[in-house]
Amino acid sequence: MTPVALAATGAALLAAHAVVNARLLRQPTASLTMTCVSVLLPLRNEASRVTPCLRALLGQQGVDLEIVVLDDASTDSTAELVQSLAGDDPRVRLLTGRTLPTGWLGKPHACQQLADAAAPTSDVLVFVDADVVLAPHAVAATVALLEQTGLDLLSPYPRQEAPGWTALVQPLLQWSWLTFLPLRIAESSSRPSLSAANGQLLAVRRTTYDRVGGHTAVRDAVVEDVELLRALKRVGGRGGICDGTALATTRMYDGWNELVAGYTKSLWTLPVPTLAVLAFFYLLPPLAAMRGSRVGSLGYAAGVAGRAVSARRTGSPALPAALAHPLSVTAICALAGRSWLARRRGTLTWKGRAL
């Protein structure tokens, strides 16, 4: 078998796997839960985003919850906005973050402080990012599914809003795990490589979280959500992702420059072999197709089909992004190279802090 034929076959098999995963993907539904929940919201200079996020949290239904908010040394009006929105609602507590200790990154440190402050009666901790807007039933449905499945960690993947050129890259987040990760096997597997999570909306049983040491176990992790799941697996915990399309929406980046900055901080964590696999399966066939290869054309079509399946299942526009899938893969490889170079030079930063 020629390299082009091998790549085309691989792209077709992966597209078929995405179809299977799309059917198996767990979908939380509106539910009531009697579980006591602490919703934990870390904030750093989020004045432009916190209002819709907090309003949605205050509108949660079907669950007994508290909302603990941490202002992590913001230099804008984040804290004032939280106080104004919360008013005298007894469910909301606003904390002032402590100085960042040596050896910690900002996000894990903020999350650990929030977990430490959560009410002792809370059985489940739900971490939410400021760029996420939840549906009214989101927390209750997430916690109910956590209980039904017996998992220790559950991460509903929000619908990703991707304006402009960000649509070229941002939908690759959902596409990657639908395409490559055997979802149901990953939930119970202890293998670190079979781990996917999203800290934008993440629920974890408090007993398991405490057993692993909380975010202290991932204090220096840039991708702290995935590393937290891996830490839980090391102590026998189970967890994974589910469909959060109907539960939450998020717009991580408003434009291409923001996306480049965000991906630069974290893509250095992608192993080189992973990028090589992406290039082989999704760049070699279309390059061959441009030279008249029918097999290459079939491989390109398989890549487009897999991308379209992912988009349809996760609420993203299928076209024209699916047709531009080779450009998406090229972009992610280029961004990874930029991230590796920035790390080597020691210039990685996020929210004004060195990484």
Q: What is the pLDDT of residues 165-186, one digit of tens each?
A: 999 999 999 999 999 999 999 9
- Listed residue (337, 335, 315) closest to 327, CA to CA: 335
* Count of helices and strands (H, E) across the chain: 14, 10
Cα separation, 244 vs 242, whole angstroms: 6
User: What one-character DSSP code corresponds to residue 255?
Assistant: S
N-terminal to C-terminal alpha carbon distance within the chain: 45
Of the pLDDT bands very low, low, confident and very high (cuts 50, 70, 90), residue 318 is: confident
Of the pLDDT bands very low, low, confident and very high (cuts 50, 70, 90), residue 335 is: very high
Q: pTM for the whole thing?
A: 0.93
Give tens-digit pLDDT for 134-145.
Answer: 999 999 999 999
Residue 16 has pLDDT above 90, yes or no: yes
Q: Where are the domains of the chain?
A: 3-23+256-354, 24-250
The pLDDT score that the predictor gives to residue 31 is 85
Which range, of 78-87, 137-146, 342-351, averages the lowest pLDDT?
342-351
Give tens-digit pLDDT for 273-309.
Answer: 999 999 999 999 999 999 999 999 999 999 999 999 9
The pLDDT score that the predictor gives to residue 187 is 93
Residue 316 has pLDDT above 90, yes or no: no
Give tens-digit pLDDT for 153-163.
Answer: 999 999 999 88
The contacts of residue 159 (CB under 8 Å, 6+ apart) are: 244, 245, 248, 249, 250, 314, 315, 316
The pLDDT score that the predictor gives to residue 33 is 87
Residue 328 has pLDDT above 80, yes or no: yes
Of the pLDDT bands very low, low, confident and very high (cuts 50, 70, 90), residue 32 is: confident
Residue 352 has pLDDT above 80, yes or no: no
Of the pLDDT bands very low, low, confident and very high (cuts 50, 70, 90), residue 351 is: confident
Taking each helix axis from N to C end, the angle separating 294-314 and 3-24, rounded to the nearest 10 degrees, works out to: 20
Q: Which CATH class is domain 24-250?
A: alpha beta
